[in-house]
Structure 1
Amino acid sequence: MNGARERYARVLRVPHARALLLAELPARLPIGINGLAIVLFCREHTGSYASAGAVAAGFGAAVGLSSPLIGRLIDRRGLAPVVVPFSFLHAAAMAGLVALGLAGAPLGVLIALAAAAGAFIPPLGSISRAMWPRILADEEPGLLSTALALEGVLVELIFVSGPLLTAALAALLDPAAALVLSPVLLLVGLAGYMVQPPVRAWVVSAHAAAHGPWGALRSAGIRTLILTTAPMGFCFGAMEVTLPAFSEHEGWRSLSGVLVATWSLGSALGGLAYGARSWSGSPGRRYARFAALLPLGYLPLALAPSMVVMGVLALIAGCCIAPTLTAANQIAGDVAPAGAETEAYTWPTMALVAGIAAGNWAAGAIVEGVSWQWGCLAAASAAGVAAALAATRWRTLSAQEAAL
């Protein structure tokens, strides 16, 4: 335990690490707010969950599609010249969504504004992951896995606190309040982030324009991470729907959020454990082993007889999420072509977002048409596909083998 605390303390003692993390918190909180806030806002002001889902889907799809393009722009033009104007464009689109939503604008207009807001939001997670190797350059190499694990835990906390904040604002004021607060938090956080010395020292690599239209996709390792992360995302998206469906089946609909939060807590605990030690050996093998554990965690959920048992099983199932994704993030940096690091981090994220969206949609149809048990089995099956792909392609997940 003392060794684990010391590793995290060493990361936080690195110059500028704490300041960057503190600035990141408000800037990244919108990723835990926007999805639910858009759904609640549109449901409140259009009267339709179908319309709300369409607007939220437009936002999410735009985020996933634009992130690699923004990452490539950052690699080739610099951080501030891209992030600052894009952030203001995002805020303007969100303001337009709120204003026209309150005015009763047609659904197509709301979808277009939500898509614009999603298209311009900076991929702060990928930017942060690309920053860690820079500020840890003079430290022990093994500390990078600890820093990325800390990053993963931060994301889990955001996905717990963001929806809670959104629900509170919707109950006390109006869902519009959450949509107004979200870009304000982004801009405030970015104001603190962009003035940090490592951010101001960001320079464009001389190799940034050398990769042609393929960019980071020139790396076979990045392509493998996309292939394996998409079905993982399907698994996670399916569980986001299946756990509430189970709660409703058991007569505890109001506690569905508790099950999802317990699942996220398991991921956070797994991430802390992953970052508490220094890992050796092949990163690709390690990633494949964690991926192999994922389906084993989700199969037992289909047999849960009660809320209490499901809570315990969900906690256990969540424990491998953050370690697997943290290992993937570390590999993305290792196999990224020189000068395309930011873009490289965005591709697995895009695959994850797309997989989650597909899992949400498929599990909704499955639990409504068959049962929640089959939702669990669909999640486990998708995780099994990811495990099989990781097992057959792990050799591409090293810097030596990743290039074409």
Structure 2
Amino acid sequence: MASTVTSRPGYGQLLRTRGAWTFLLPGFAARQPFAMLTISIVLLVQHTTGSYGAAGAVAAATGVSMALFAPYSGRLADRHGQRAVLLPGVLVHTLAGLSLTLLALTGAPLWALFLAAVPTGASVPQVGPMVRARWGVKLQDSPLMTTAAAFESVTDELTFVLGPLLATALCTAVDPAAGLLTEAALTLVGGLLFAAQKSTQPAVAAVEPGHTRVKPASALGIPGVRVLIVAFLGIGSVFGGMQVALAAFSESIGEPGLNGVLYGVFAAGNMLSGVVCGAVAWKVAPQRRLVVGYAALAFTASGLWAAESVVVLAGLGLLVGMCIAPALITGYTLVEGLVPASARTEAFTWLTGAVALGQAAAVTVAGQLEDRLWDGAGFLVPMAGTVLALVTLVALRSRLSRSPRSRTVARGVGHRTPVAVD
């Protein structure tokens, strides 16, 4: 079914929102750990152990702990405030990251690396969901809320362009430990500056005397959120599988520096399609857009394993990247209608945690495939992850439906257009 689109300006006005830059700039620095952490660990541990399997397993331990703790962190932020969660979190993450680096460089046994990887992942600050929640405070019911959701997804994509490129460049051109050390420094500085912006953080609901705080329902109890988690697990499999497989492919042809370039092409396609997708007012229901976009992602990801040249791999990577951003943006947009405001930070962290968990599993499996099969066998992981997620998405797409009423999306300032709902 062909879709009708119209231009939806609004990025300029969004960025002129009073006080927005006070949390956007430090928030951008503090988001880098999510994009830098996995590839930094893979490159460091592979350098010290000589095994992609061991590197993938340590990175997976970090990703799993991040995925498991992220929703809990989001719920704590909803109840007690972002600052109360961020301040201890960034300090723990910095110390844990430095410990992991030291252990790897000194040839510590694998079990010791696992022990350090768990707190490193669990303490990654969930700044992306917190920034989204702050936009809600600044804009409330403004038509620019949809623009803000798109802008945040584009920012996530930019993070995935710059983070792996920076980490790869530091690990290959400076020192294998430089990526993880820089990640820890950005977490500390960016996280503390972000936490210092008290005026923009969502208020914690006060409890009246004689009353007890009612425990809000978990976002995980909403069926549509569980379906989105499966979809985001598949997206995480693309990120994790490509990080390992691209590194192994580049090393196999004697050009390890190409790893960052190839991953940058993939992430650039992701970012550019996000900019376009966020600037359009779609007249097709988001549930249908998600299914169609995810089908395109599964189709393009299924061809990666057959690429035998740098040019073909770069072209396929670009197409895969271009298919990811629309799926991410649509998924986050669906959360706004499926989840009440009191649980949205938690819902957003479930989705980011799903990406981290999918990435962790993909890194582990792809590392084993690279060690045991052929160079590039890790590309089978994105194919399997996206196909399985697509089957689930198609089978359970009815659970993504909002309440049976029309909704609106912004088309510039002060103007809205009805959108049909399946």
Instruction: Give 1:317's aligned residue.
Output: 320
Asked if structure 1 preserves the Cα contact closer than 8 Å seen for 2:164 and 2:264, the reply is no
**Is 1:83 aligned to 2:118, yes or no?**
no
CA contact (8 A) 2:39 2:164 kept: yes
For structure 1, the 5+ residue unaligned runs are: none
Counterpart residue number, 1:156: 157
Distance 1:32 1:232, change over 3 A: closer
Say whether 1:210 aligns with 2:211.
no
Q: 1:360 to 1:187 in 2, by over 3 A?
A: closer
Cα contact 2:43–2:171 (8 A) shared by 1: yes
Total equivalences in the alignment: 395
Stretches of structure 2 lacking an aligned partner (at least 5 in a row): 1-5, 405-422
Q: Which has the higher helix share?
A: 1
One-letter identity of the residue aligned with 1:120: S
2:397 alignment partner AA: W
RMSD (Å) for aligned C-alpha atoms: 3.2
Match of residue 383 from structure 1:
386
Q: Distance in 2 between matches of 1:364 and 1:48?
A: 8
Q: 1:128-277 to 2 correspondence within 5 Å?
A: 128-140=131-143, 143-170=144-171, 174-196=175-197, 198-204=199-205, 209-211=214-216, 215-247=218-250, 254-277=257-280
Instruction: Give the superposition deviation at 1:155.
Output: 2.4
| Counterpart pick for 2:27 among 24, 33, 37 | 24
Report the CA distance between 1:87 and its aligned residue: 1.8
Contact 2:246 2:262 in 1 (8 A): yes
Q: CA deviation at 1:352?
A: 1.8
Q: Give per-residue Cα distances to partners, 1:4-57, cap 9 Å, x unaligned.
A: 694221221222223322111211122233223334444555676555444333
**Structure 1 residue aligned with 2:416:** none
Say if 2:296 and 2:323, in contact at 8 Å, map to a contact too: yes
Q: Please list the CA deviations of residues 217-257 of structure 1 after superposition, one character each: whole Å capped at 9, or x if unmatched.
A: 11111111112222332244333334445556666554233
Structure 1 runs of 4+ with >6 Å offset: 205-208
Corresponding residue of 1:117: 120
Contact 2:268 2:321 in 1 (8 A): yes
TM-score scaled by structure 2?
Answer: 0.81
1:76 and 1:205 in contact (8 A); partners too? no
SS of the residue corresponding to residue 235 of structure 2 reads helix
- The range that moved more, 75-84 or 232-241, is 232-241
8 Å contact 1:205–1:339 — kept in the other structure?
no
1:343 aligns with 2:346: yes
User: Do the aligned residues in 2 keep the contact of 1:91 with 1:183 (CA within 8 Å)?
Assistant: yes
The verdict on how the C-alpha distance between 1:34 and 1:240 changes in structure 2, with shifts beyond 3 A counting, is: closer
Deviation (angstroms), 1:200: 4.2
The separation in 2 between residues aligned to 1:236 and 1:307, in whole angstroms, is 18
Report SS of the residue matched to 1:320.
helix
> Structure 1 counterpart of 2:194, which letter?
Y
Structure 1 residue 186: deviation in Å? 1.8
Asked if the contact 1:149–1:323 (Cα under 8 Å) also holds between the matched residues in 2, the reply is no
Q: Distance in 2 between matches of 1:32 and 1:294?
A: 20
Residue by residue, what CA displacement relative to the aligned partner does 1:258-293 show, whole Å, maximum 9, x if unpaired? 222111111111101111112344322222221122
Spell out, residue by residue over 1:132-151, the C-alpha distance to the aligned partner (whole angstroms, 9 max, x if none): 233222421xx334323322
The separation in 1 between residues aligned to 2:381 and 2:111, in whole angstroms, is: 32
Superimposed CA distance per residue, residues 297-339 of structure 1 (whole angstroms, 9 cap, x where no aligned partner): 2344455463223322221221110110111112123212442
How far did residue 198 of structure 1 move?
Answer: 4.7
CA distance in 2, matches of 1:364, 1:74: 35
- Paired with 2:98 and 2:246, the residues of 1 have a C-alpha distance of 33
Q: Is the 8 A contact 1:146 1:274 kept in 2?
A: no
Shift of 1:399: 3.9
SS in 2 for 1:296: helix
